[in-house]
Structure 1
Amino acid sequence: MKKVIIATKNKGKAKEFQQMFAPYGYEVQTLLDLPQIEDVEETGVTFEENAILKAETVAQELRALVIADDSGLSIDALDGRPGVYSARYAGEDKSDERNMVKVLDELESVKDADRTARFHCVLAIAGPGIKTETVTGTCEGRILNEKRGDNGFGYDPIFFVPSLNKTMAQLTPEEKSSISHRGNALKQLRERISDFI
């Protein structure tokens, strides 16, 4: 079975990658399966810089093909915040709940029409003897005043997708992967995966 290492310890992301790669006959390993690998400090100021940093560091350590993603939420009314700080927006201890509360507090006086936002995902693929490449996916939506839905993770319960009239957290995993920022980035990656393997 073909193997690809996803440089994440995020169980939500790991599950999404497994679902996306399963039909293509790939065994997905994540850093949850490789506890000896230290977390890579995300010192980049863009999603692309962080994704490349993670992919290249882990690929060098494991001498293997590695895909790393950096993703997050950009809200227009907040000048693109939380951006690269999405996971730790409310503090160093990652908390989806506190992050959502902070965003909702900051948008309290912003009217619905001005609550436009998008999820960004940059995937970087690195490995021995290959040039590191990136692909980018986005998903447009707006931020609600309250949470809706129980699926997904992160900001999904407050991110409304107008084309489906649902939040990300109200979508099935299949619906989400068909329209999500990560799903869109992965579609591009799949088209080029044979260049790397």
Structure 2
Amino acid sequence: MTTHPVSPPVPGAPAHLEALGRHFGDLRDGTHGDAVSRQSKERLFHEAVTLLDPYARRVLREFDHEMLRDTGTVEATGVGRTPDGGLAALWTLSWPEQRETDIQPITLMAHYGRGFHHPHLRGATVADWPLNVFTEEQAAAEVPTLRAIASADLHNLVFQRDYRIVPAIVDDRPGQDGRPGPSSRKEA
């Protein structure tokens, strides 16, 4: 199978846009990275969890230190089978007040559902995000959050239809940087 690398929409595109391009390119090409079979995709999922592990732990430790006054416990499950036959790995941060109220811990989850084309990330309860911006600096600090929300929104819109709603994934016209669109380039 010939794959079509997805180039960033603009020179030096932010990592979140490059990640979306890889994600939608997988949908277009019927692959996940270089994998086509479920077995090969599961191998890549295991590798991804290993790569994510130190970063997921670091993020949760940051939350523990700054928000929970170092009272929390970070735990990781490693990769395991889900009831539907898929795979999942969880990193959680629990703390005394959370456990006493019987609510879920802060959760970062990598999951590859049985019927999924490729893996995804999610949290336990993420939906709304607080907006308390009162200065230019506070507004600028929201950029990573805005990027995450926009990336998730576009991902969900593709999930509702398919990758063809994203011109950069199917368009043969050159982008603003003059490079050919992804479907006009062939990988040797």
Instruction: Assess same fold via TM > 0.5.
Output: no
Q: Which of the two has higher C-alpha Rg?
A: 2
Q: Place the TM-score, normalised by the shorter chain, in its bin.
A: under 0.3
Per the normalisation by structure 2, the TM-score is 0.23
